Structures are given as structure tokens and as C-alpha cells.
Amino acid sequence: MGSDANATLTKKGHSCVRLEKAGRTLVIDPGGFSEPDAALGADALLVTHEHADHFDELRLRAAMEDNPAAEIWTLRSVAEQISGAFPGRVHTVGEGDTFEAAGFEVEVHGQLHAVIHPDIPRITNVGYVVDGTVFHPGDALTVPARPVHTLLLPMHAPWNKFSEVLDYVRAVAPEQVYDIHDGLLNDNGLGVLGRMLGEGGPGTGGAVHTHLPPGESVVPGR
């Protein structure tokens, strides 16, 4: 990754990932579909938006209590729900902000959740570029105004379809794609979508697509 090629990314359930380098851990979106201990041991936590599959207050509280030095960076709608319990340790961010969390350089991109249906009001959503290399968009198809090596791709949701997913990969133009937001897919769905994003599909513009099962780790950029 940008400042440390030895950083490791571990896929957790659904949209949660853990990034580790130099003995410190950053966790993104430990929600209700991720493992109960997905956030434990974190030095820093990032949350993209308030939906329960990305923001689980009990998981965040457990991590914050487990590590009294841990801090959270998130958008206002989430910060308002948890900042009172951890004064001074919850930071509100928005598009264009940059900050350091647990030794990682983080940029904030995006403003709104993808449209689920016109009758459902849109909520806010932000994505995070970590160390200039890995982009987690949350629940949006935000194209960051900068190149990224590794895209964490929302594979399946009530707000997307395959043509949008493929066009999003092409628009971001990463070198590597790893699935997130896959907690509603069974093996059949993963297989079909994986083929469509691989050699059996219309082409990702050169990005290499890989599905990581929960618990598997990789070193982005290698």
C-alpha cells in the first residue's frame, strides 16, 4: 500500500475488512452481517453509513471498550448515534476530508447512498481511500477523483445490478478488485457473478477480479 507495501487486508463478513500494518489495525464497516468479533482489536474504525449491515453499535462499542485508545471516523448520521458514549474518540468526516488513522492515510470520497428506489429517501454515505491504494465505497458507486490500485466492489445489493457493477469497475479502472457486500449471496450467485467479472464475461478493462472468503488475507499492490 501507499506508505507500506507490507500492509495486509483481511476480508470479513459482508462489507467489513481489516487492514493491518506495523502492528496496528484499521477496520471498515463492522456491521450486523459481519462476525461478532470483526471489530475487536481495532486501533481505528471507519463507518461508511448508518445501515445496519455496515454500522452495528454493539460491535463498535465492543471494540472501543476493548481498546481504550481506539477511535472512530464516520459521517454525521453515525457519529450522532455513538459519540456520546465515547467523547473525544468519534470524529465526523465528509467528502474531501483527509486524516490519519492508526498510521493509515485516509481520504473521504462521496456523499450519498446509491438509489434503492425513488420512493425511498437517500441517506448519506462516504467512501474511504486508504493509503492511496484501497478504496471502500460503502453503498455507492462513487468514482474517486484519483487512481486506486484496489477496489473493494459492492457485489450484490438491493440498489445495484450487474451492468452497473461492471461499468463501475471500468470507470474506476483499478488493477485489482475484491468483493464486498456479498453477504446476501450463496455459492450459486457468487459463481455466476464471478464468471461474469472474469474470463467468461464482457471484460473489466483489465482489472483482476478475486473473491475472498471471510478470513482470507491478501497484500494489496502485490
Asked if residue 59 belongs to a domain, the reply is yes
Quick one: DSSP state of residue 85?
G
Residue 109's Cβ-side half-sphere holds a number of Cα atoms within 13 Å equal to 23
User: What's the mean pLDDT when you consider all of the chain?
Assistant: 95
Cell match 470520497: residue? 109
Number of structural domains (the chain) is 1
Answer whether residue 195 is part of any domain. Answer: yes
Indicate which CATH number applies to the domain containing 149: 3.60.15.10
Percent of the chain with pLDDT over 90: 95
What ranges make up the beta strands (E) of 66-207? 71-74, 90-92, 98-101, 104-109, 127-130, 134-136, 150-154, 176-180
Alpha helices in the chain (DSSP H): 57-66, 76-82, 162-172, 187-196
- Is 77 among the domain residues? yes
In a domain, 222, yes or no: no
In Å, how far from its chain's centre is CA 74? 12
Q: Please tell me the predicted confidence (pLDDT) of residue 4.
A: 43
148-160 pLDDT, tens digit each: 999 999 999 999 9
| pLDDT exceeds cutoff 80 at 6 | no
Decide if pLDDT at 3 tops 50. Answer: no
Query: Would 204 be classed as within a structural domain?
Result: yes
The percentage of the chain sitting over the pLDDT mark of 70, rounded to a whole number, equals 97
pLDDT-derived band of residue 5, with 50, 70 and 90 as boundaries?
Answer: low
Full domain range(s) for residue 25: 8-212
On whether the CB atoms of residues 131 and 117 are closer than 8 A, the answer is no
Q: Within 9-140, where are the H helices? A: 57-66, 76-82
Q: Is residue 182 part of a domain?
A: yes
Give the span between the Cα atoms of 68 and 86, in whole angstroms: 9
CA distance 187 to 43: 33
**Residue 47 — φ and ψ, nearest 5°?**
-125, 130
In whole angstroms, give the CA distance from residue 96 to residue 108: 5
pLDDT (tens digit, 9 = 90+) per residue, 76-117? 999 999 999 999 999 999 999 999 999 999 999 999 999 999
69: in domain: yes
- Cell matching residue 123: 441517506
Q: How far apart are CA 56 and CA 54, in angstroms?
A: 7
DSSP 153: E
- Residue 38 domain flag: yes
